[in-house]
Structure 1
Amino acid sequence: MDETAQLNLPLLQPAQAQKHVTVNEAMMRLDALVQLVLVSRVLATPPAVISDGVAYGVPNGAVNDWAGHDGEVAIGSNGGWAFVTPKAGWSAWITDEGQRALHDGGNWRSGMVTLSPFGAGARLGVAEIEHTIAVGAVSTTSTVIPSHAVVLGVTARVVNAITGSLSTWQLGTPGAPDRFGSGLGVGEGSWANGVLSSPLTYYAPTALELTATGGDFTGGQVRLSVHFLELTLPSI
């Protein structure tokens, strides 16, 4: 046996020379895999500069030094790459997605908090956008709430002061303009924390709606975050 069963750490062999090389390699992999953080799982071309201990999830079709290592974890090691095959139940923080993922034995599944043997489970997600407010009494975002999402609430932060003749504003959806907040401030840093008393399911992709109170919008920018739960299907 040359490697451990779970983390694929290299093992010392009887009468092995240069033992420190194997020990250091094992420590490097251990340092990367415990509290696993993946810079990305979609980058197909390895970075030009390799940093020791930095890990990536290798996607299908990866090239150059990652070719032939689809689905593995690539760890920077002494100017090259060490590769480890993740197992079902491993978890990792995906830096460029800002969320945790579980491995189902074949793929990383973002936001999963439960996962059945056939891939069904519950997924927590955040859909976040920067919305530039349009001139007028109502400013509607692009579609932000996904279909069949159980929405827990929407939070918001004014990143550029809201301008216009309005005094305050409301945050909601078409037909429910104040569902996630009313009497909201217009200054930079103002916020909304629209937690729903009962989660609400949206069965079609839905936009958010900002409504001016006491006047109209002329500008501003708001960061909007939809917090939701999704149920995933079992595999065939």
Structure 2
Amino acid sequence: MPDQTPRLELPLMMASQAQKHVTHNEAIDRLDGLVHLAVQAFNVNDPPLAPEEGATWGVGPVPTGGWVGRAGLLARWRNNGWDFATPRDGWIAWDLGAGRARVCLGGLFTDLPASLPAFLQGQAGVGVNTTADATNRLAVSSAATLLTHEGQGHQLKVNKAAPIDTASLLFQTGFSGRAEMGLAGNDSFSVKVSGNGSSFVTALEAPASGRVTLPVGLALGPVAGDPPAPADGWLWYNQAAGQVRVRSGGASVAVGGAQVSMLVPPSGEHVLTTIGGGTTTGTVVGGAGRMDLFPFAPRADLTIDQMVVNVTTAVASALGKLVVYQSDASGRPDAKLAETGDLDFGTTGLKAASVSMTLWGGATYWIGLRHSSTATVSAWAAAATPDINGGSPVTTARKVLRRVLAYGTPSPANWGFLSSEITSATATAVWLRMA
């Protein structure tokens, strides 16, 4: 018969043993040290100089003094000496120094949560302050739920098996659905709302293309005026103006409105850079180093591959160039978008310059012609181009910005508006060919 128990190594009393109380007391004393185990600290190599009676330490890998040869054991100070116990897998001890529970696995004590993830795996359900069920296998009843990072970012993942399934967040009132966002029955992200929990209306849908649709439309709340310094792309309803407005190219412009639709011709045909008015073109005589600019606002997007002018009176060796500027927030010419190569104004007829650009509907552009000499070109009728505001009252409408710049010098990258450059001259007739 063995003389000690297999797990705690408690001494057993033997038959006909004298002084049985000694063995019994030793077993009781060992139980007192190992049951509800509390350890001062783990992985300690040097025995403390003044240990308290009954205090226990976890011996480190390189023990010294009275612990030599006892690596990995539990050392308890008892009756002016050290009593050692071999920890077994599954023993749980409270680490008094670290303030946390540890468990013995493979003869070593490690933190309880990291060592026993299996305790929390494969469970049928987990309920926190409430009861989980077969559908809601994780249930939490709380004023709030926090999911935070562990050093960097944090992702909350909702996964589904196939596109026809659902991966979403459902918001409820009295356990009746009122709003749902996610992948509901397909792989397009959507936001749906409901008034009764059974019939849902799709308010927003974003497929893989990223092109967002609003199936029931968009209602813009009114604002008193244009927002201060909006970024390009902002859209709002200006209640004072009674307009839906958009920020485009640094300017706040009305969307839509009462205007004549623009007919966009097919590829290879031409658009006139006019607003209508007059049925015949006139002419305008060039000047050496002169640039004439006039505004043009297409009402539809125009993708073009040519700009065309018509020389009516040629001058030997004369040249010309066409330019396009975008406008600033005040509608004035700003950054240069294009400047063509030289056109031959030494002969009459249509002169075409290749370009590749899109003029966006609703934006204002400034189109101009540069002259090296005094060739004459076709001009729009006075009523066919917008009036340019500024200056003191005059009896003739202002139509063109006119500047002198040596022809061999590139046109300015930014125009730099000067009101003194406004003239009443007619605008050069420029045609745009659709790409």
TM-score normalised by L of structure 1: 0.49
Structure with more of its chain in strand, by fraction: 1
Which structure: larger Rg? 2
Larger RCO: 1 or 2 (CA < 8 Å, sep 6+): 1
TM-score normalised by L of structure 2: 0.27
